[in-house]
Chain A
Amino acid sequence: DTEVTQTPKHLVMGMTNKKSLKCEQHMGHRAMYWYKQKAKKPPELMFVYSYEKLSINESVPSRFSPECPNSSLLNLHLHALQPEDSALYLCASSQDPRNQETQYFGPGTRLLVL
């Protein structure tokens, strides 16, 4: 398996809802990432997990809560989001966080907050 997968593909949620995004890879990669991408903009880093531990949090609001249950899975828990949080949420992975390894992106979850 040489892909990063993400579920769901699309998500519509209200500002009081709680939902989760899921990312999975079976390439043995030990670094996993969450990015947020607004239309016509580059991906914006949110979180980095290295060896299942949170290593980078780019000052993301607490309504976004990441979780890495094991080396293959990455979740992003969403609660009390705002309409401006509507975006494409991309997961990525790379082989070894200590080295200059390529990041591979999943297809993303397109989130709409009403």
Chain B
Amino acid sequence: GENVEQHPSTLSVQEGDSAVIKCTYSDSASNYFPWYKQELGKRPQLIIDIRSNVGEKKDQRIAVTLNKTAKHFSLHITETQPEDSAVYFCAARSYSSASKIIFGSGTRLSIRP
């Protein structure tokens, strides 16, 4: 089955700097890759997603890149702000298991003022 690895587990960056979180997946049939942000005590919220027919997607300060050959995808946050502090989860879903999302272990991002 699918396995998703996420690095780093914790990340601290200076406000205004960029943050990058990386994930790898094992199932070459995976074709949908969402990223969720979870603030303390809150629900996971989708912040961006990418499908396997696209290599990069951007939404304001957030971008995701996908390398299907290497089976890895990354989240890039530019001009970080205090409200970006949260736990970020990458995830992957295979076409063969349309209902099942496999999550990475999470990255706790802290923004230093």
Question: Which residues of A pack against B, CB within 8 Å?
Answer: 31, 33, 40-43, 45, 48, 50, 55-56, 90, 94, 97-100, 102-108
Can you spell out 15 A-B residue pairs with CB atoms less than 8 angstroms apart? A40-B106, A42-B89, A42-B103, A43-B44, A43-B89, A45-B100, A97-B98, A97-B99, A98-B98, A100-B31, A100-B93, A100-B95, A102-B46, A102-B49, A105-B36
Among residues of A, the one whose C-beta sits closest to the C-beta of B42 is: A107
**When the two chains form the complex, which single residue of B87, B101, B105, B106 contacts A103, counting CB atoms closer than 8 Å?**
B101
**CA A105 to CA B42, docked complex, whole Å:** 10
Q: Say how far A3's CB is from chain B's closest CB, in angstroms.
A: 10
Cβ-Cβ contact count across A and B, 8 Å cutoff = 51
**A90, B93: Cβ atoms closer than 8 Å:** no
Give the chain A neighbours of B99 by CB distance below 8 A.
31, 33, 48, 50, 55-56, 94, 97
**A90, B43: Cβ atoms closer than 8 Å:** yes
